[in-house]
Amino acid sequence: MDKLAALQGVYREWERGSYSAGLELYDPGMTLEVHNPIPDAGVYEDLEGLQQYMRRFLATWDEYELELLEMRAHGDHVIAHIRHRGLGRSSGARVEMTYCTVWTFQGSRAIRVDIAQEEDVALQAARATIL
C-alpha cells in the first residue's frame, strides 16, 4: 500500500468536510495522542476513543476547515503539516493554527497518530512507540 497516496486521499476528503474518510486505514487498537498545548490534549485508545475525540473536537466549531500543507514519508511514519481555521461555537473567536500529525504504520494500518504543534514533539512520541 502506498501510505502517502492513501493519506493524501483522506486529507482531500477531510478538506471537503468528510471527516469519516479513512477509517479503514486505522488499526482497531490504534492510539491517538494529542500533545499540549492543543485543546483536549490526552491519549485516546482504539477507534472508539478516536471517534469520541473527533466528535467532541468538531462540535466546538461553527465553521471549520482543514488544509494539508505538506506530507512526506519517513520509514514507518508519515508526517503531515496541517493548517486549520475555524470559528469557535461558544467563543465566536476565529482561530487559525498549524500543527503536525505523525502517523505510525504497521503494515497497511495506522497503529498510532500523534498530533502536536511542533514536528519534533510528534515524531519523538511516535518513535518511542515499540512496533
59-81 mean pLDDT: 95
> What structural domains and CATH numbers belong to the chain?
3-127 (3.10.450.50)
User: What pLDDT band is residue 129 in, cutting at 50, 70 and 90?
Assistant: confident
Q: Please give the share of the chain, as a percent, with pLDDT higher than 70.
A: 98
Beta strand spans in 1-131 (E): 26-34, 42-45, 61-74, 77-88, 94-106, 109-116
- Is the confidence at residue 122, as pLDDT, over 90? yes
Q: What's the pLDDT tens digit per position in 31-57?
A: 999 999 998 999 999 999 999 999 999
pTM for this one? Answer: 0.93
d(CA 39, CA 31): 17
The residue behind cell 490526552 is 42
The answer, yes or no, to whether residue 131 has pLDDT greater than 70, is no
Tell whether the model's pLDDT for residue 79 goes beyond 80. yes
Residue 130: per-residue pLDDT: 53
Q: Which of 29-33, 64-68, 113-117, 123-127 has the lowest mean pLDDT?
A: 123-127
d(CA 52, CA 70): 27
Which cell goes with 103?
502517523
The Cα–Cα gap between 87 and 92 comes to 6
Query: Would you state the pLDDT for residue 127?
Result: 87
- At position 70, the amino acid (one-letter code) is E
Alpha-carbon distances of 79 from 5, 91, 126, rounded to whole Å: 13, 31, 10
Q: Is 2 helix (H, G, I), strand (E, B) or coil?
A: coil
Q: Answer yes or no: is pLDDT of 13 > 90.
A: yes
Question: Could you give the CA distance from residue 124 to residue 102 in angstroms, rounded to a whole number?
Answer: 10
* Structure-block grid coordinates of residue 121: 514533539
Q: Can you tell me the distance from the alpha carbon of 13 to that of 38, in angstroms, rounded to the nearest whole number?
A: 23
92 has pLDDT over 90: yes
